Amino acid sequence: MSLLEIDQLKVTFDTRYGQVTALDSVSLAMDAGETLAVVGESGCGKSITALSVMGLIPQPPGKIAGGAIRLAGEDLTRASEARLRAMRGAEVAMIFQEPMTSLNPVFTVGDQIAEAILLHQDVPRDRAWKDAVALLERVGIPAAAARAQDYPHQLSGGMRQRVMIAMAVSCRPRVLIADEPTTALDVTVQAQIFDLLNEIQRDFGAAILLITHDMGAVSEMADRVAVMYAGRVIETGTADSVLDAPQHPYTRGLIGCIPSLDTAGDGLAEIPGVVPPLHLLGAGCAFAERCLHVRDTCRDTKPRLTEKAGHHVACFGAQEGWL
């Protein structure tokens, strides 16, 4: 049994175009202490996957319409709100993309970390504060005792993301979800944050679900990779296997797109076009419109994940060998 198992998850949203399926048959698994990278362009469902695990899909309009999310065997999609509250922050914690806006502007950062501790641990307030300062020190914030008294606006983006990391690991969660933790940061700071996440994982033994565009970070950090497109996992396997022998044309495009200053962001120079809006998804492969190798089957039928070259891919071309 894996530590975290997402099994055939389906999430829908009510929109003005009617009900759309944001996640369709998404299955992912991670073992204790490993890093799973989830990659894909903006809008392909990475954050929704993460929020589903946290039980934080905005409902309405969102809804978990099928499947299961098992944490050590317990199905979180059936858990009570009280159970989810006890789980959030303690067993599964999350770091968000926007360090500039993810901290509450009216409380000191020390307060916000101490709050996370007090929510899940039966310790006195001054002890929680001391722990908060120690955590700030641990994530590499100089003069931590003084910085703990600062408000978020007094810190840089990189420092705020360190604060978020300190807060997330404050209760030693078994799973740490990092949703594009470096997208909003300077390139030099990005590397520092990835290093910090690596160290944290070594020290705290958390499994990390790393959501990112950065294929460089994937090759450095990830044990396994899942590539998502339009709400589905289209290729998944060990990081080595997927990066060395990508099967899906979309994955090949992603890997070909080495992040540099002008391609960093959402555009993919190698793959023209954009992710289709969910309400326009047809019966076939969602990538068909952008695929250079598209055939009629691709437009009519959705490919399913099958094994190929040591990992799994959902592409008729790859499966039938006509790419």
Partner 1 sequence: MGSGFLLRRIGYGLLLMLGVVVLNFLLIRLAPGDPAVVIAGEMGGATEEMLASIREEYGLNEPLLVQLGIYIGNVLRGDLGESFFFNQPVAHLIALRIGPTILLVVTAQLLSIFLGVLLGVLAARRPNGVMSAFVSVFATIGYAVPVFWTGIMLIILFASVLPVFPVEGMTSVRLRDAAWYVQWLDVAHHLVLPAFTLAIIYLAQYARLSRASMLEVLGSDYIRTARAKGARERTVLFRHALRNAALPILTVAGLQFGNLISGALLVETVFNWPGMGRLAFDSILRRDYPTIMGVLFFASAMVVIANILTDWSYRLADPRLRGRT
Ligand X SMILES: Nc1ncnc2c1ncn2[C@@H]1O[C@H](COP(=O)(O)OP(=O)(O)O)[C@@H](O)[C@H]1O
Among 44, 90, 109, 128, binds ligand X (CB under 6 A): 44
User: Is residue 96 at the binding interface for partner 1, with CB under 8 A as the rule?
Assistant: yes
User: Could you say which residues in the range 288-317 bind partner 1, by CB under 8 A?
Assistant: none
93 interacts with, out of ligand X, partner 1, Mg ion, none, CB within 5 to 8 A per kind: partner 1
Residue 129: which of 142, 110, 146, 155 has the closest Cα?
Answer: 110
Q: Give yes or no for a contact between 62 and 11, defined as CB atoms under 8 angstroms apart.
A: yes
User: Is residue 134 at the binding interface for partner 1, with CB under 8 A as the rule?
Assistant: no
Question: Nearer Cβ to Mg ion, position 47 or 251?
Answer: 47
Dist CA 159 CA 90 (whole Å): 22
User: Is residue 120 at the binding interface for partner 1, with CB under 8 A as the rule?
Assistant: yes
Q: How far is the CB of 94 from Mg ion (least distance, A)?
A: 12
User: Could you say which residues in the range 64-93 bind partner 1, by CB under 8 A?
Assistant: 85-90, 93
Question: Nearer Cβ to Mg ion, position 265 or 282?
Answer: 265
Among 47, 112, 190, 236, binds Mg ion (CB under 5 A): 47
Report the phi/psi class of residue 25: left, alpha or beta, with left for phi > 0 and alpha for psi in -120 to 50: left
The span of 39-47, 75-83, 242-250, 291-299 binding ligand X (CB under 6 A) equals 39-47
Q: Give yes or no for a contact between 273 and 289, defined as CB atoms under 8 angstroms apart.
A: yes
User: Is residue 218 at the binding interface for partner 1, with CB under 8 A as the rule?
Assistant: no
Residue 310: which of 264, 243, 250, 258 has the closest Cα?
Answer: 243
**C-alpha R_g of the chain:** 20
Question: Nearer Cβ to ligand X, position 117 or 218?
Answer: 218
Question: Nearer Cβ to partner 1, position 150 or 223?
Answer: 150
Token output for 221: 């950090």
User: Which residues partner with 70 through β-bridges?
Assistant: 5, 75
The span of 38-46, 68-76, 202-210, 297-305 binding ligand X (CB under 6 A) equals 38-46
If DSSP codes are grouped into helix, strand and coil, which group holds residue 31? Answer: coil
Spatial strand order in the sheet of 175-179: 92-95, 175-179, 207-212, 35-39, 224-229, 232-238, 311-313, 306-308
User: Is residue 53 at the binding interface for partner 1, with CB under 8 A as the rule?
Assistant: no
Cis status of the peptide bond prior to 60, with omega within 30 of 0 = yes
Report the phi/psi class of residue 265: left, alpha or beta, with left for phi > 0 and alpha for psi in -120 to 50: left
Question: Nearer Cβ to ligand X, position 161 or 212?
Answer: 212
Token output for 36: 């799973």
Query: Looking at residue 310, what DSSP letter applies?
Result: T
Q: Show the site string, 253-292: x = touches ligand X by CB under 6 A, - = not.
A: -------------------------x--------------
The span of 36-44, 145-153, 166-174, 306-314 binding ligand X (CB under 6 A) equals 36-44
Binding interface with ligand X (CB under 6 A): 13, 15, 22, 40, 42-48, 58, 61, 278
Binding interface with partner 1 (CB under 8 A): 54, 56, 85-90, 93-94, 96, 98, 101-108, 115-116, 119-120, 151, 153, 164, 167
Binding interface with Mg ion (CB under 5 A): 47
